Amino acid sequence: MAIKKIAVLTTGGDAPGMNAAIRAVVRTAIDTKVEVMGVFRGWWGLINEELKPLSHRSVSGIINQGGTILKTQRCPEFRTKEGMDRAAATLKKYNIEGIIVIGGNGSFAGAHEFYKQYGVACVGIPASIDNDINGFDTTIGVDTAINTALTAIDNIRDTATSMERIFVVEVMGRESGYIALQVALAGGCEDVIIPEKKFDCQQMCHRIVEGSIRGKASWIIVVAEGAGRAEEVSRKITEITTLETRAVVLGHIQRGGRPTAFSRDMALRLGYEATNLLLEGQCGKAVGLNNGKIISIDLEEAIKKKIWEVDSIYNLIRKLT
């Protein structure tokens, strides 16, 4: 039996390109005469019946906007049986036969449990600046977040050189150093601190002092938030080396802003493929890029811890210092 109505929602942290994915989902579904309901504030909205129909015009002019027009928030209640019961009841009440979930690892974990426990037809689209979805090369929003952070670091480099100072720049990444590594390499930064590698402040300070003796006047260290705090690292460097050090926390500016061409293109392609997958009855899946090609994998596989090559980039940053 053909699906007649689906819903789309964004959950977890926002990522640039989510709106492009929403646009692709809505217009692909409407093109095949399928109704689309937008769920506001993620799983919370599904539990509390915060939904409204989305039309072709509803998603007009959003392709270049960061964030998500559907809003997003954390929802601990969805992790409970009562919460999932209410979410399932909402789907039944509105005659929704399938959902598309746009989000990161935590969002996919919730979708997988919903599918497994309640048989809800769902497909996931990976959107997270942490690039934390297993089985895929990258996620929607990563490219934009990296370029946003890189622009900031390029600006900091001007001041670091002019004032002959050390800067410690904190970027996002609670459990992953992906953004930190990419930005540190592209920004020509002298060191990087990430959760995946043991950090020795004494050794780093020794390298800084050696560089200073050689005449190196500035130094930029990138730290992923999950590996340390810029203020603390900055203070320790000054204590050990006596050299003037400044801390900069980029924070949530990395989440916002206009998505890059790559983030938009990826979001549109994945939105299209995810919708077709759902309408074909292939459920409990996630779609994403692998070796440049769009593939689908089971949500169960997608929520496994992602293992990626850290050492090659980490060592290259050191060698190019």
Residues 6+ apart with CB under 8 A from 202: 240
| 130, 132, 143, 191: the active-site residue | 130
Q: What is the DSSP string of 147-190?
A: HHHHHHHHHHHHHHHHHT-EEEEEE--SS--HHHHHHHHHTT-S
**Contact of 117 with 84, CB cutoff 8 Å:** yes
Return d(Cα 289, Cα 276) in angstroms, integer: 16
Nearest to 22 by CA among 130, 119, 30: 30
DSSP 122: E
User: Coil, strand or helix: which one is 18?
Assistant: helix
Helix orientation angle between 311-319 and 178-186, rounded to the nearest 10 degrees: 30
130 part of the active site: yes
**Known catalytic residues?**
130
